Structure 1
Amino acid sequence: MMKRIGFYIGIVVVLIIGGSLLIIKGKDAVSHAESRKQGILEAEQTTIFYRDTPGAIVKIDTAIGNFVKQGDVLFKVKLAKGDKVDILAPNDGLISKISVEPGDQLQQGVPVAVLQKKTFYTELYIQESEINRFEINQSIGVHFPYLDSPIRADGVVTSVSAAPQFASLRMTRERGQADLSMFLIRISIDSSEDLLPGMTAEVKLDELTD
């Protein structure tokens, strides 16, 4: 009888100790997750518009996937009055979309191509209690943790704004309901041959100084 009681007591002790360890590890995991903010790496893009008088595309001097320099000729256009003009690349970057073909008629303001710039960015949602740790032009390290060889890149905070889509989220407090305020920050990152749009970008709050 005493052996059986001792056996049950042993089981209870093991369960208590195991549960305590799980709680501690769970808290550690939560704390670790809360100290990391993740977003998706995006490439800044600009749409190239036709700015001249009506005309027609007579030649396309680039292709999707081409890298171009600012000032490179992308399209040649013959105006209705007979003159010819060039559409130039406004920035360095990669041609990600071409919206016209030879012979297409153009009016002022028509989009002709999309240029992917050499600057990347990521956007992160930050809680109100943490937003004072970020400011415009702040230098910040950005990690890419899921690569075979994790990379740390230098970034700069370029904007901080309220995230109104979170206004409908509410959390219960002792006295009624209160809106859960969130903010959206954008971090600009120089492009690198090791980085591609769509990668997971991460900022570690414990690396920031208050």
Structure 2
Amino acid sequence: MAKFKFHKFAAVAVLVATSAWIATGEFSSVGSASQEAQTAEPAAEPERRVALKTVQVAVPPRLEHARTIHVSGQTEADKRSVLAARTAGIVQELAVDEGSHVKAGDLILRLEAEGKEAAVASARQTLAQREAEAAASERLAKTGNLASLQLDVARANLASAQSALELAQAELDRISVRAPFDGVVDKVQVEEGTALMQGAEVATLLKLDPIVAVGEVSERDLGTVKPGDKAEVHLVNGETLDGEIRYVSRAASPQTRTYRLEVVSSNPDGLIPAGMTAEIRVKTEMVETVALPRSVVTLNSDGELGIRAVNTADEVHFFPIDIVDDTPEALYLAGIPEDVRVIVAGQDLVTEGEKVQAEKADEATIRELASTVKPEQEQ
């Protein structure tokens, strides 16, 4: 019998063992069991529910409000005139001091006459003589005893005498400087005995009643102000004046693109000086607004300013706003639909279209919201 080799025996042993394992069928259930275990595992997990975000909402009050335009400026005199000498001469009389109140026509100063009064007296005498000659010539001409040519000469002499008197009187009047309007002497530039040239500055006269508050209104606000509108002038010393717009420029400043605005206020005693810092406040027409605290305002994904609110299905919507007025108490906004539930807490944590759980704002939030409305605005 041939000798049986070891490697052949090993191969037969492996074949027998493999046949036995296949016969058991265990290999076919390994993958199935694993798949069944994986399939059964999700079924064993509990069902997951997405929690809705909670926001607080409130219906803000609606009220009529007039936007206030704030314009920075300063006070100016209604009129300002720098008086000057109309002829050369020596100051003979200075009738005012700085701070003096004068009426239109009051004497400010007088120069030395230097023969001008005598020239007026001489011109008057000459005129009287020429008037008498002209009257005699008229009588003689009516009776035919005077040629018409001689009558014309008499009339010409009379006219020349009248002109000479007017010139002499005008020259005499030039030695006096008088107030052109009621006002206060703000500055005196000369003293008695001073030699003046023609055109030299003598005094500065201000008219402070009414006082004028002057500011610059922006292009955006130009269409909302007009002459005749009422305004308030708040001075730096805390005083408040009622005024009226008298002028709005129709040409913008090339540097600032703003328009000059003038408001006049009564100042009968002249106590309010020119050059005082002031703020002009002009109220525009009344519009329907919603008063909300600044914390409610937010931005959408496009950077647009507005508020977020929820509809009847508790879905978030964004409403762009128009800021009618910005006061220390609240923002007065337009563009918000009626009866909308504004999100007053959590508005920055939700997005448009998201469904939320809307709860009525607590008493503290409602109280803060109500405090943005002044008592006189609630009436």
- The 1-side partners of 2:235 and 2:202 are apart by 37
- The 2-side partners of 1:57 and 1:145 are apart by 40
Which residue in the other structure is 1:120 paired with?
211
1:156 is aligned to 2:191: no
Does the 8 Å CA contact 2:84/2:201 hold for their aligned counterparts? yes
Q: For 1:136-169, what per-residue CA distance to the aligned partner results, in whole angstroms no more than 9, with x for missing partners?
A: x424322226545x42322332241311122xxx
What TM-score results when the alignment is normalised by the length of structure 1? 0.65
- The 1-side partners of 2:70 and 2:82 are apart by 33
From 180, 187, 199, the counterpart of 2:263: 187
Which residue in the other structure is 2:185 paired with?
95
From 251, 266, 285, the counterpart of 1:209: 285
- The 2-side partners of 1:182 and 1:97 are apart by 32
Identity of aligned residues (%): 22
Task: Name the aligned partner's letter for residue 202 of structure 1.
Answer: E
- More deviation, 187-196/84-93: 187-196
Does the 8 Å CA contact 2:252/2:258 hold for their aligned counterparts? yes
Does the 8 Å CA contact 1:54/1:80 hold for their aligned counterparts? no
Q: How far does residue 35 in structure 1 lie from its aligned partner after superposition?
A: 3.3
Q: How far does residue 117 in structure 1 lie from its aligned partner after superposition?
A: 0.8
Runs of 4+ in 1 over 6 A off after TM superposition: none
Does the 8 Å CA contact 2:235/2:276 hold for their aligned counterparts? no
Aligned partner of residue 195 in structure 1, secondary structure: coil
Gaps of at least 5 residues in structure 1 are 1-31, 167-180
Q: For 1:51-75, what per-residue CA distance to the aligned partner results, in whole angstroms no more than 9, with x for missing partners?
A: 2x32211111110011111111111
Q: How far does residue 115 in structure 1 lie from its aligned partner after superposition?
A: 0.5
Q: For 1:18-77, what per-residue CA distance to the aligned partner results, in whole angstroms no more than 9, with x for missing partners?
A: xxxxxxxxxxxxxx9x832121112242111222x3221111111001111111111111
Does the 8 Å CA contact 1:76/1:86 hold for their aligned counterparts? yes
What is the aligned residue count?
161
Q: For 1:122-142, what per-residue CA distance to the aligned partner results, in whole angstroms no more than 9, with x for missing partners?
A: 22121111111233x424322
Does the 8 Å CA contact 1:142/1:201 hold for their aligned counterparts? no
- The 1-side partners of 2:284 and 2:272 are apart by 23
- The 1-side partners of 2:235 and 2:98 are apart by 30
- The 1-side partners of 2:205 and 2:267 are apart by 14
Does the 8 Å CA contact 2:219/2:259 hold for their aligned counterparts? yes
Does the 8 Å CA contact 2:245/2:261 hold for their aligned counterparts? no
Q: For 1:174-209, what per-residue CA distance to the aligned partner results, in whole angstroms no more than 9, with x for missing partners?
A: xxxxxxx3222223333244533343332324x133
- The 2-side partners of 1:59 and 1:196 are apart by 28
Q: How far does residue 114 in structure 1 lie from its aligned partner after superposition?
A: 0.1
Aligned partner of residue 223 in structure 2, secondary structure: helix
Task: Name the aligned partner's letter for residue 216 of structure 2.
Answer: Y
Task: Name the aligned partner's letter for residue 187 of structure 2.
Answer: K
- The 2-side partners of 1:47 and 1:55 are apart by 18
- The 2-side partners of 1:191 and 1:89 are apart by 20
1:46 is aligned to 2:93: no
CA RMSD of aligned residues (A): 2.8
Does the 8 Å CA contact 1:140/1:208 hold for their aligned counterparts? no
Task: Name the aligned partner's letter for residue 45 of structure 1.
Answer: R
Which residue in the other structure is 1:29 paired with?
none
Task: Name the aligned partner's letter for residue 46 of structure 1.
Answer: S
Which residue in the other structure is 2:106 paired with?
72
